[in-house]
Amino acid sequence: MKNLPLTSDSTPSLPAVPDTLDANWLLMLDVDGTLLDIASRPDRVVVPLTLKETLLRLHDLLDGALVLVSGRPVAELDALFGPLRLPAVGIHGGEMRIVGSRIRKRHLPEKQAMEQLTRKCRKRAETLPGILIESKPSSVALHYRLNASAGQTVRDWAQVLARKMGPGWTFLEGKQVCEIKPAAFHKGHAVRELCNLKAFAGRKPVYIGDDITDEDAFAALQSVDGLCIKICSDPSPAMATVESPTQLRRWLAQLVQHANGSVQSQPLNRPRGGRLASLGHDQRIIVVSNRVSLPRAAKANDGGLAVSMSAVLNEHGGVWIGWSGKINETPHLQTIPHGEVTYLLQDITSLEYEHFYMKFCNAILWPLLHYTMELPEHIRPAYETYLEVNARYAELVISALRPGDVIWVHDFHFIPLAAELRRRGVKNRIGFFLHVPFPSREVLMTLPVHYELMSTLGAYDVIGFQTQRDLEAFRDYAASESIPLGANEELSYPATFAGHFPISIDTPRFARQSKKSVESKDAQELKASLEGRALILGVDRMDYSKGLIQRLRAIDELLTRQPEFRKQFTFLQIAPPTREDIQKYAALRAEVEALVGHINGKHAMVDWVPIRFLARGIRRETIAAFYRLARVCLVTPLRDGMNLVAKEYVAAQDPEDPGVLILSRFAGASEELQRALQVNPHDTEEMSNAIAQALAMPKEERRERWRNMYTILSKQTLESWYQDYLHALSGAS
């Protein structure tokens, strides 16, 4: 280890980190903060493939005496480390699996106690932005990595709650996280048990950890002549130290290199091809989505996918493949080169339009993924066409594919695309991102072909979801239905990583745009027409998932119950039509227009109408200005993957006089924007009360809420979203 500065040269008396591997070690490794760098969220951790290879070789060199020790459940460690299935201790000692054995679990707390604990933690987290609640089988962790300033508050509250849970519970503090767990689950106990196992008898225990959660393990080794190594920047007089997880990974790799002169081990099979470092500038991205946003043709109602993929491709170059929007019995392929990006637009036949697009995607998958269980009869023909279209798109992807390209597939139209590509021998890395919610397993299982369809997700290297809630729903479904997510050589499937990557916006740019656009002619005309009244704004596509009917009823409820609000505001609802050729959407528009007319007729006065309704798109620059003018923004979908309107509204505000965001608890954005006024969109009275509260809210409270949300959006940007996802897809550390 002459070339690796693991200890301080100025303190030669410190215990030394060994230069060579001792084949008689029992090597016990903490995971988060030790083997792996701390991520912004636990589900965003990615295990470098080089580390997997190192661990496999160490496992061979130590004859199986390598154990992962973590607060994560063992099943989660298996998902992280792919096909390795190393010996592991999970949940701080609550679970244990040694080579060739099943997971052995200690007695878990009662389900009712865990549910009660989780509810209390989630309720408390609602009052503190940026706090992530991680519910485990026997403990609850409160992560404050996105809001370090709240750390002391979270720790104090968690300590009190742990005491209230009773003598069998304890409080545990880690790096930007604290945990409430059973006192019997203890890394020190687990380490002593490992040392006493017959399989590890006579071995020298070596434990490597990084924080307070590992102190019990360090203490346990003091009586058995063990070696403790701590990950920290400040040298410790009590044990050897390594500066960082990166340094530790280098040291472990060098131990393997030094040992390989005498012992050979089998290399780890790499996941399906491609580079494994961070995405290189010379690597193209192949994007596949149903709709394609052509250059200089961006529409006012472009969603998050169109905006974000344009930004990604402009930076990295590549190919964007999707539907041309045309129906043709002899489908044509249109190729549009534009700088470093090529657009491939594919026609579909009338049968494909009817069965693939109208029926399976829009009448079956879209409502199901938004928790609506109204399945039509005879879905099999539509499903067969759905598979056929995905097979044709697979051929199109292959025609454009080069070695080293990374393939990024978007949304529910192309769930089985990776399986079709693997079937054709494609070994490039393939990622899938679901922009809409992932429903509970009870809802999803109403789809007759649910297993057949969802099992194809195992063909992806990375599956991304918008929220922690969606990720947990997927994990629950995958576990209950035994969806294969490990490496499958027979099908050429890789080990699949599932994570949560909340999409966002270019916050500073949107803020600048709103400030500039508020001086535009359209904005000034709107401002003048308000005559000093507060503007309440809604911006949504005309879709039944957006909660437009419930929102209008809340306005009616407010004016009926509190008539003093008449003439105090104007509600402007912008709702550009979408999927107009689907009867359900045409019916929704008719219902919305009728309800607007009814409410205006009921409450209007000679010089005022409460609602203005625009059933057309507005340019993004104009929308940005309208956001800045609005005192209140209503973002109240019944269910939504993310909803970028909420984030755009926050970004657009005047810092000195910001408006108030009213946000549905069922929008993905609610996990981040916890200082919005969060409402149940099915509760008309609650929404009407929130509108009244927002209109009367003092400026100081508005500023405090806005500052909190804007700080979060400044960190979670559009660029950080796609970089985090591509970072995971590249297999980088």
* Residues designated as active site: 435, 640
Alpha-carbon distances, residue 510 vs 527, 712, 718 (angstroms):
20, 15, 11
* Rounded distance between C-alpha atoms, residue 378 and residue 380, angstroms: 6
Tokens, residue 234 = 């400040």
**Number of alpha helices (DSSP H) and beta strands (DSSP E) in the chain:** 24, 26
Cβ density class 305-342: b for 16+ within 10 Å, e for less: bbbbbbebbeebbbbbbbbbeebeeeeeeeeeeeeebb
SS3 state of residue 82 = helix
For residue 482, give the H/E element and its range: none
Question: Quick one: three-class SS letters along 592-657?
Answer: HHHHHHHHHHHHCECCECCEEEECCCCCHHHHHHHHHHCCEEEECCCCECCCHHHHHHHHHCCCCC
SS3 state of residue 542 = coil
SS3 state of residue 713 = helix
Amino acid at 321: I
Tokens, residue 37 = 């760098």
* Rounded distance between C-alpha atoms, residue 673 and residue 149, angstroms: 17
For residue 480, give the nearest of 438, 434, 441, 440 by alpha carbon: 441
Tokens, residue 502 = 């909340």
Give DSSP secondary structure letters for 21-53. --TTEEEEEETBTTTBPPPSSGGG----HHHHH
SS3 state of residue 303 = coil
* Rounded distance between C-alpha atoms, residue 661 and residue 715, angstroms: 19
SS3 state of residue 253 = helix
User: Which is it for strands 240-242 and 227-231: parallel, antiparallel or unpaired?
Assistant: parallel
Q: What is the largest CA-CA distance in the chain?
A: 93
SS3 state of residue 324 = strand
Strands laid side by side in the 240-242 sheet: 104-105, 95-97, 88-90, 66-69, 25-30, 204-209, 227-231, 240-242
For residue 313, give the nearest of 290, 338, 277 by alpha carbon: 338
Amino acid at 178: C
* Rounded distance between C-alpha atoms, residue 468 and residue 464, angstroms: 10
Residues 6+ apart with CB under 8 A from 110: none
Provide the residue count of the chain: 733
